[in-house]
Structure 1
Amino acid sequence: MIKKLNELIEKRNTVWEEQKAINDVVLKDNRKFTPEETEKWEKMDRDFEDLTSQIDEVRKEINRQEKVEQRNAFMKEAQTQAIKPSPENKNEEEGNKLPNLDYISEKYRGIFEEYRKQTNGKYSTREYADGYRQHLLGNSMEAQRALQADIDKSGGYLVTPEQFIARLIMELDNIVFVRNLATIISVPKAESVGAPALESDPADPVWTAEIKVGDEDSTMDFNKRSLTPQPLAKYIKVSETLIRKALLNVEDIVRQRLTYKFAVTEEYAFMRGNGAEQPLGVFTASSAGIGTGRDVSAGNTTTAIRADNLHNCLMTLKLQYRKNAVWVFHRDAIKQIRKLKTGDGDYIWRPGIASEKPDTILGKSYYESEYAPSTFESAAYVGIIGNFGQYWIVDALDMRIQVNPFSYMSTNQIAYFARKETDGMPIDENAFVRVKLA
């Protein structure tokens, strides 16, 4: 797969060099593209985007294969640890033994260790997972017998097992790029988490001699902004025939479908959410998140991005934020940016020249989102650069699913209604700069 990836990257680099050659001629002659040049450019542009999509797919496939290998190792270990409760008493200590946490990525392992402590391991046992499987299959009586009082009497919603929510969150990380960059905080239940937001910079530090500690700083204020996981409800319909006959087990089928539903909704919210009972997005101007003082339009026209503006945006970030900053644009903005040059005649967009090297803009990697703004009109936002470690996401781990095997019986489908609770917001606006048109 690595060989195929490198071949695709090389092909795309060739297309890019040909595009640059056309663009350079047009810029040198100080004229517009001729119809023939436009046609040729647009064809190469389609080839470029097609190759980029193929590169992304191969990279995803490489990641998938790595995950399969990791899970195979986990499943082999899990099978050797499988606990079979005695027929006389399913609630023996042996039947409730907790599996190890090796299947969870290191990023979340500590979180789920704490989750087990706070829930007394209630949702982490193999017995609970087995009973939950019956719940997803629509076997409510078997599920109630296995899980007893764990079913929510008010609506039939049932807290998902640890393994289900852990894998769903890890798969969301792979789909929603913001999650890979943000600071993730997980709580057992939906409860408020105060996020310290720096309201003013500390004063200049004073050099102090040994023993002395210096003057007290009174200029740095932390304003508590409340982060509270907000409910996000989605439902899916799955063919009962698929559930009964598929090689995948029912948890995998339901989790994969729900992961996609949650992923597109979360990415939109992290980009454009208004903060009212939902995450506050980076493209929403707000005093609670990123204010208008972090918008930079100098250098742009009313309808197009210019290289000077992107350089201004980059250098507006302080060094400590600029070091790990990334760009976020819509694909339409990327099309514009790939034609831009610096004053020295260098293109500001650079292709990754190896499988592990990303494409860059002014030396910084970028992410493409369908939910980034793509309307090019006066005073519109068209991109952002920032250190997304200063975007906080809070997940409640007690995700719940209700199974409805009746409403879609005529189409042989089972409906799954899921409630996941998440919130997010920028906690330090100084870590971000929005690209704005003039």
Structure 2
Amino acid sequence: MSQIEFKAAITVDDSGTVEGIAWPFGTPDRVGDVIEKGAFAKSLPPIPMLAFHDQRDAVGVWDEITEGEDGLHVKGRLLVEGVTRARELQALIRAKAVGGLSIGFTTKKAAPRAGGGRNIAALDLLEISLVAVPAHPGARITSSKELAMTDDTKTLDIEALEAKMTAIEQKADNSALLARLDQLEAKANRPQGTTDTKAEATAERKAFATYLRDGDRMPDEDRKALNLSSDTQGGFLAPPEMSTEIIRDLIEFSPIRQYASVRGTQADSVIYPTRGDITNANWVGEMQPHDESTLTFGQREVEVHELATFVDISNRLLQDAPQAETEVRAALAEDFGKKEAEAFLWGTGVNQPEGIMVNPAIPEVANGHASNLSADAMIKLMYSLPAAYRNRGAWAMNGTTLGVLRTLKDGQGQYIWQPSIQVGQPETILGRPVIEMVDLEDVASNQHPIVYGDFQAYRIVDRLSMSVLVDPYSRARERITRLHATRRVGGAVLQPARFRKLKMATS
């Protein structure tokens, strides 16, 4: 965050009008800073008038801000009719107790000066304060219409001034200020239906509010405003409102990442050494020679692949609906999550991860029927795995297949699917948990609707989490902002022997 800096000649009259030079050009202030002409080019009135840079002590407003050859000229109003503190500042200025101006700003562009300080070429002007000692010696109150603010000013009669101030305070009518405060308080207590202040100020909205309050007794002027927006039956049309709620469809994807083995990497691929078999030891007799054993080693490479897209959003939409960018990012995350989950099951390995269901080395167990699931086939599939893998295994299938399985019974008439009776524990089939994966196939001829295995044998390699690059420049002339999204991830089956697939028969 940029730090707010305070820098700063003024006049005051009976009505509270204040004029002065808030910053002289060409000369440094007490710390060596020089603000160049043109630095205030984007500073537009109104600007708050504070006392001594205290944000809780607002005493007026600056209505005119112009850059002259000699410096930044400002003109504003002390609110002497309604703010007691403003009348005090008016008296202090005339008494020369307060005679300077100081600006509060944040620096946008600056360069160091030889000998110290900076040349400030651009800034954001936040406020201009009335102060006793300005940061710039030349930032002074220039004159007063009643009393000239120069060195030859006659000596002030302080006692007479104080008496005059007391009389002013006694005569002051604060009713207008109190009424304004009541209006602000009432507005703050209204229900907040929208943050669109521009829409709130339209004639149709004001007239609609009058109709809700007075009904048919509403004034003719407001009735005309509503008729401008009436429907064909002559009824009143409610003004439009942009809701902050966005209706979105549910995005489902397989939770394989939760059960697989996930690793990070800083490279384009990861190589895992593999061992093909065990040694060939034999029983031998005394003095009998034994045979040599050979081991074969290999490697399994998991490559990192890239998933990418971009979305164009109009700048007007980003301005009118600030939540639009958040929703785009959420949609990208959902799309990337769905696409990578699908690739972890069905990816070909070419420019995408290798999927479990397409790995040719995973053994298949025949179901024996093209459309009816067999409980015996599932038992056979599960026990075809070695015990070490079987006891860490889990069933994976989609919701449709799970619904069919809930009706299956074993040879003793017992349901093979068992609901969970303990909170936090999954449902089981033959004592092992069930994972619902929406991307698996339905029960049909020549399909693989069920896979069982230890999913830690599937390795996911993350190179780069989803990155979103905001590009407001490429289509700036069309007032379009482009969001580029990229994700780099790889996946492969490291040990096919830890999986089994159920194959439906061909009809």
TM-score between both structures, scaled by the size of structure 2 = 0.44
Q: Distance in 2 between the 1:428 and 1:275 partners?
A: 16
Give the letter aligned to residue 232 of structure 1: L
Alignment of 1:37-436 (within 5 A): 177-189=255-267, 191-200=268-277, 202-203=278-279, 218-219=294-295, 221-236=296-311, 255-286=329-360, 290-291=361-362, 294-297=363-366, 299-374=367-442, 376-377=444-445, 379-397=446-464, 400-405=467-472, 414-436=481-503
Kept in 1: contact 2:371–2:444 (CA 8 A):
yes
Task: Give 3-state SS (helix, strand or coil) of 1:296's partner.
Answer: strand
Kept in 1: contact 2:418–2:429 (CA 8 A):
yes
Query: Tell me, which stretches of 5 or more residues in structure 1 are unaligned?
Result: 1-83, 89-141, 143-173, 208-214
Give the letter aligned to residue 306 of structure 1: S
Kept in 2: contact 1:270–1:282 (CA 8 A):
yes
Going from structure 1 to structure 2, the CA distance change for 1:311 and 1:401 (only over 3 Å counts) comes to: same
Kept in 2: contact 1:300–1:308 (CA 8 A):
no
Q: Distance in 2 between the 1:359 and 1:394 partners?
A: 29
- The equivalent residue for 1:129 is none
Q: Distance in 2 between the 1:388 and 1:412 partners?
A: 48
Going from structure 1 to structure 2, the CA distance change for 1:240 and 1:364 (only over 3 Å counts) comes to: farther
Give the letter aligned to residue 487 of structure 2: K
Going from structure 1 to structure 2, the CA distance change for 1:232 and 1:363 (only over 3 Å counts) comes to: same
Task: Give 3-state SS (helix, strand or coil) of 1:376's partner.
Answer: coil
**TM-aligned CA deviation for residue 274 of structure 1:** 1.0
Going from structure 1 to structure 2, the CA distance change for 1:323 and 1:249 (only over 3 Å counts) comes to: farther
Give the letter aligned to residue 422 of structure 1: V
Q: Distance in 1 between the 2:316 and 2:470 partners?
A: 16
Q: Distance in 1 between the 2:465 and 2:338 partners?
A: 21
Kept in 1: contact 2:269–2:301 (CA 8 A):
yes
Task: Give 3-state SS (helix, strand or coil) of 2:343's partner.
Answer: helix
| CA displacement, residues 257-287 of structure 1 (integer Å, 9 cap, x when unaligned) | 322111100111011111112111111042x
Q: Between the two structures, name the one with larger relative contact order (CA 8 Å, sep ≥ 6).
A: 1
| CA displacement, residues 307-360 of structure 1 (integer Å, 9 cap, x when unaligned) | 011111110111111122111112221121111011111101111123211111
Q: Distance in 2 between the 1:410 and 1:347 partners?
A: 66
Q: Distance in 2 between the 1:363 and 1:237 partners?
A: 50
| CA displacement, residues 202-224 of structure 1 (integer Å, 9 cap, x when unaligned) | 248899xxxxxxx99634x4421
Going from structure 1 to structure 2, the CA distance change for 1:247 and 1:332 (only over 3 Å counts) comes to: same
Give aligned pairs, total: 254
Name the structure where strand makes up a greater proportion of residues: 2
**TM-aligned CA deviation for residue 394 of structure 1:** 0.8
Kept in 1: contact 2:254–2:342 (CA 8 A):
no
Going from structure 1 to structure 2, the CA distance change for 1:348 and 1:332 (only over 3 Å counts) comes to: same
Q: Distance in 2 between the 1:393 and 1:195 partners?
A: 13
Going from structure 1 to structure 2, the CA distance change for 1:285 and 1:433 (only over 3 Å counts) comes to: same
Task: Give 3-state SS (helix, strand or coil) of 1:283's partner.
Answer: helix
**TM-aligned CA deviation for residue 429 of structure 1:** 0.7
| CA displacement, residues 48-80 of structure 1 (integer Å, 9 cap, x when unaligned) | xxxxxxxxxxxxxxxxxxxxxxxxxxxxxxxxx
Give the letter aligned to residue 369 of structure 2: T
Task: Give 3-state SS (helix, strand or coil) of 1:303's partner.
Answer: coil
Going from structure 1 to structure 2, the CA distance change for 1:268 and 1:399 (only over 3 Å counts) comes to: closer
TM-score between both structures, scaled by the size of structure 1 = 0.51
Task: Give 3-state SS (helix, strand or coil) of 1:256's partner.
Answer: helix
Kept in 2: contact 1:322–1:387 (CA 8 A):
yes
Kept in 1: contact 2:348–2:358 (CA 8 A):
yes
Give the letter aligned to residue 192 of structure 1: S
Going from structure 1 to structure 2, the CA distance change for 1:375 and 1:357 (only over 3 Å counts) comes to: closer
Larger Rg belongs to: 2
Query: Tell me, which stretches of 5 or more residues in structure 2 are unaligned?
Result: 6-107, 109-251, 284-290
| CA displacement, residues 378-403 of structure 1 (integer Å, 9 cap, x when unaligned) | x3211100101110011113754332
Q: Distance in 1 between the 2:324 and 2:258 partners?
A: 27
Kept in 1: contact 2:254–2:437 (CA 8 A):
no
Give the letter aligned to residue 426 of structure 1: V
Name the structure where helix makes up a greater proportion of residues: 1
Going from structure 1 to structure 2, the CA distance change for 1:176 and 1:301 (only over 3 Å counts) comes to: closer
CA RMSD of aligned residues (A): 3.7
| CA displacement, residues 134-173 of structure 1 (integer Å, 9 cap, x when unaligned) | xxxxxxxx9xxxxxxxxxxxxxxxxxxxxxxxxxxxxxxx
**TM-aligned CA deviation for residue 228 of structure 1:** 1.4
Give the letter aligned to residue 218 of structure 1: T
Q: Distance in 2 between the 1:360 and 1:398 partners?
A: 33
